[in-house]
Structure 1
Amino acid sequence: MTETTPTALWNDSSTLSELTTAIGWGAVGATCNPVIALAAIRSDLPRWQARIAEIAAEHPTATESEIGWQVVEEVSVEAAKLLEPTFEAHRGRNGRLSMQTDPRLHRDAAALAAQAEYFASLAPNVIVKIPATEVGIEAIEEATYRGVSINVTVSFTVPQAVAAGEAIERGLARRDAEGLDTATMGPVVTIMVGRLDDWLKVVVERDGLDVDADHLEWGGVAAFKEAYRIFGERGLRARLLAAAYRNSLQWTELVGGDIVLSPPFSWQEKFEASGHDPQPRLDLPVDADVLATLLSIPDFVRAYAADGMTPAEFDAFGATRTTLRQFLEADADLDRIVRDVIVPAP
């Protein structure tokens, strides 16, 4: 895939052993989020517990959250070093390690943009995640203008992807107008294809809808294909990125375009073991019967049409609420890891 098509492979993990293996399979970048960062810390917990104790001793007034995020920074910078050769070879378009802004800032555009700018200063090849919420869209444009390469996250739908892509475009245009560099920036707009499928299944069960269960496996794929068509039509410079895998269709149906596929390491292992050589299928439409089934679900209509939601409606979408809550819970779990070091249980 990576040798015969323009499709790039990124690894959905910053755990060093997984990222190293994925690079051997052709991965040229890595994504991360609070859940993934927490997993990376837990994968080498004794080491990071010792580092937490050191940070706490060095900064006696630091809060649990401040100590935990210092560890996240160190995990991310360490992983970013593995990708520096690729970053240099690709002149900034690939070779990037994603860091996600603190989900607790999701209501504050200025704070998101400021943290994004700070994270981008930690290593030359950091790309920063900002959520595709109403506030996040504002922060995405501003951070892009400041020269931060953005990886849009908490994004599941065509209207979110298009709004984020256009916000990036406005930020890039502002830089172009001032003669600032945009050629070495590498923004991407994620669609968490599997999380859209997850939400559609919740809706079908909740509302008692009679639909073919197999067709529900195509929701994220259909949304991604439609977003890809619109990005090309509108000339948006950001690449689309598929993440949050739930089935192999989210691999085989999305190969072929100038996009990024970022499966979790466990899915990469399955794909590598399959021996399957996927052919370009991104431009092929989803079967009409499958699409008709999906369009019978009101929340899929909202997710599929470019004007299906306004930014003011993004925050209330079920997948957005579910994912933000999971990311906030990961923050709380990281606080607990720090607490167990600095205030051990009796």
Structure 2
Amino acid sequence: MQAFIADLLPKEWDQPGSALSGATTNPVLISHAVMSHAAHYRDVLNGLPTTMPAHARVARLYDQSIVEAAERLLPLFRQSRHQAGWLSAQIEGGHWMNRDALVARGLELAALAPNIMIKIPGSAQGYHAIEHLVAQGCSINNTFCFSVSQLDACLKAIHAGRQRAQANGVNLKRARYVVSFMIGRLGSEVEFVRQARSNRINLTRTDMRWAELAVYQAMQALMRRRDTPARLLLCSIKVDTDARGREHCWHLQRTGAETTLYTLTPAILEFLVRRAQSGRPIEPSPQWLAIPDKVLDRLLGLSYFNQAYFEGGLAANEFARQPAFLTAANDARRGVERLHRFVSDTLDGPDCVARSAPRHTGMEQRA
């Protein structure tokens, strides 16, 4: 299947017309890329000063992978006049950072390449940081978003930041803003199922998908009420298989009546190819779908759903405690931990031990 997809894609996939508008990163994806090209990134580490502390080496490794990815997209970025070719670069550890730390790290990432979109988690501190970064002309991808309340906070932060930028004469012509609704993670969160069982509600897989679509439609309704340049980006898209072995993807087939962007993983691309081969290509929904009343009644009996569905369902100080947010944050943390282990293993290797020997001399101490 991978070979088949490779044949379908243009030889120069980063050129206009290739249908690929950009790419995204996060600590898990970056750690996977580093492990997949270990020799290359060991060379990067071995080229750093021996006195550089481990945490600085991890940051340098992280930045290097972003620079290399952004460089591949630069031709598309330039030829499309900045409409496409963006790389979303996530702030590692951003879920626990305060506003000032997020702003500082965001500016560092933005300086790596002209086509960097800073990816910031949807915590209360994250939205304060988004306002400050937007005010400085940065492009933003708000990640770890699971509720209409977070979307509302993000749109307000973008609006306030743009007002400040315009008042200070900052050029916003090139800036872009997206909000990443991790739709597939919302319904699959363990807490959702736990609450249903606690309330003796039979929550089916179909109910979970309806819950995700309900929140998606509520988000789109909010965006329609606002005059915003931001766009909704669906990610964590899932494919389901029914009892007859047929594959479906509600996240692609039952969305799209409003302008929607999508993050497509290799697995989703393979699914799209399989459906096209079978003569049943995936098409977006031409209109909104009504949530069945019986399903909505069940969902409204769960605080997990209400907090995501209703504007004001979550207070700002609850954003980073939302269960799906915590799960995503833990995944990001594990990605960073893998990078730390890679750096540690590289430093403990035979080549680095030899190079590091002078650190114990008096000359090194004076230096």
> How does the TM-score come out when normalised to structure 1?
0.86
* Equivalent in the alignment of 1:232: 224
Provide the rounded CA distance (Å) in 1 between the counterparts of 2:121 and 2:320.
Answer: 10
Deviation at 1:316, TM superposition (A): 1.5
Change in Cα spacing, 1:301 to 1:33, as seen in structure 2 (3 Å) is same
* Equivalent in the alignment of 1:324: 329
Change in Cα spacing, 1:272 to 1:172, as seen in structure 2 (3 Å) is farther
* Equivalent in the alignment of 2:211: 219
Q: Which runs of 4+ in 1 moved over 6 A?
A: none
Provide the rounded CA distance (Å) in 1 between the counterparts of 2:271 and 2:53.
Answer: 40
2:284 aligned to which of 271, 279, 282: 279
Secondary structure of 1:128's partner? strand
Deviation at 1:240, TM superposition (A): 0.9
Deviation at 1:209, TM superposition (A): 3.4
RMSD: 2.5
| 2:229 partner letter | R
Deviation at 1:207, TM superposition (A): 5.9
| 2:33 partner letter | A
| 1:125 partner letter | N
Change in Cα spacing, 1:204 to 1:271, as seen in structure 2 (3 Å) is farther
Secondary structure of 1:154's partner? strand
Change in Cα spacing, 1:207 to 1:129, as seen in structure 2 (3 Å) is farther
Provide the rounded CA distance (Å) in 2 between the counterparts of 1:318 and 1:77.
Answer: 32
Secondary structure of 1:315's partner? helix
Structure 1 residue 253 corresponds to structure 2 residue 254: yes
1:33 aligned to which of 23, 26, 38: 26
* Equivalent in the alignment of 1:7: none
Moved more, 126-135 or 213-222: 213-222
* Equivalent in the alignment of 1:112: 102
* Equivalent in the alignment of 1:12: none
In structure 1, the gaps of 5 or more residues are 1-16
Are the counterparts in 1 of residues 95 and 123 from structure 2 also a CA contact under 8 Å? no
Change in Cα spacing, 1:335 to 1:161, as seen in structure 2 (3 Å) is same
Provide the rounded CA distance (Å) in 2 between the counterparts of 1:105 and 1:326.
Answer: 11
| 1:87 partner letter | F
Are the counterparts in 2 of residues 197 and 219 from structure 1 also a CA contact under 8 Å? yes
Change in Cα spacing, 1:190 to 1:279, as seen in structure 2 (3 Å) is closer
- Kindly provide the CA deviation profile for residues 221-253 of structure 1, in whole angstroms up to 9, marking residues without a partner as x: 221221111011112221111111223111122
Secondary structure of 2:321's partner? coil
* Equivalent in the alignment of 1:189: 179
- Kindly provide the CA deviation profile for residues 101-120 of structure 1, in whole angstroms up to 9, marking residues without a partner as x: 12157231101011111211
| 2:230 partner letter | A
| 1:78 partner letter | E
Deviation at 1:309, TM superposition (A): 0.8
Provide the rounded CA distance (Å) in 1 between the counterparts of 2:74 and 2:303.
Answer: 44
Change in Cα spacing, 1:120 to 1:288, as seen in structure 2 (3 Å) is same
| 1:29 partner letter | G
* Equivalent in the alignment of 1:155: 145
- Kindly provide the CA deviation profile for residues 43-72 of structure 1, in whole angstroms up to 9, marking residues without a partner as x: 2222222322223xxx22222222122122
Are the counterparts in 2 of residues 29 and 83 from structure 1 also a CA contact under 8 Å? yes
* Equivalent in the alignment of 1:103: 93
Are the counterparts in 1 of residues 95 and 121 from structure 2 also a CA contact under 8 Å? no
In structure 2, the gaps of 5 or more residues are 1-8, 240-248, 354-367
Provide the rounded CA distance (Å) in 1 between the counterparts of 2:294 and 2:264.
Answer: 27
Deviation at 1:338, TM superposition (A): 0.7
Secondary structure of 1:183's partner? coil
* Equivalent in the alignment of 1:43: 36
Moved more, 131-140 or 169-178: 169-178
* Equivalent in the alignment of 2:365: none
- Counterparts of 1:8-19 in structure 2, within 5 Å, are none
| 1:114 partner letter | A
2:125 aligned to which of 103, 128, 135: 135
| 1:257 partner letter | E
Moved more, 133-142 or 250-259: 250-259
* Equivalent in the alignment of 1:6: none
| 1:188 partner letter | V
Identity percentage over the alignment?
Answer: 25
Are the counterparts in 1 of residues 255 and 284 from structure 2 also a CA contact under 8 Å? no
Provide the rounded CA distance (Å) in 2 between the counterparts of 1:28 and 1:262.
Answer: 10
Provide the rounded CA distance (Å) in 2 between the counterparts of 1:103 and 1:91.
Answer: 32
| 2:233 partner letter | L
1:164 aligned to which of 136, 154, 178: 154
* Max Rg structure: 2
Change in Cα spacing, 1:92 to 1:50, as seen in structure 2 (3 Å) is same
Provide the rounded CA distance (Å) in 1 between the counterparts of 2:331 and 2:200.
Answer: 26
Deviation at 1:264, TM superposition (A): 1.8
Secondary structure of 2:145's partner? coil
Provide the rounded CA distance (Å) in 1 between the counterparts of 2:335 and 2:197.
Answer: 27
Change in Cα spacing, 1:50 to 1:202, as seen in structure 2 (3 Å) is farther
Are the counterparts in 2 of residues 101 and 130 from structure 1 also a CA contact under 8 Å? yes
Are the counterparts in 2 of residues 156 and 220 from structure 1 also a CA contact under 8 Å? no
| 1:35 partner letter | V
Q: What is the total number of aligned residue pairs between the two structures? A: 327
Deviation at 1:87, TM superposition (A): 2.0
Change in Cα spacing, 1:21 to 1:90, as seen in structure 2 (3 Å) is closer
* Equivalent in the alignment of 2:244: none
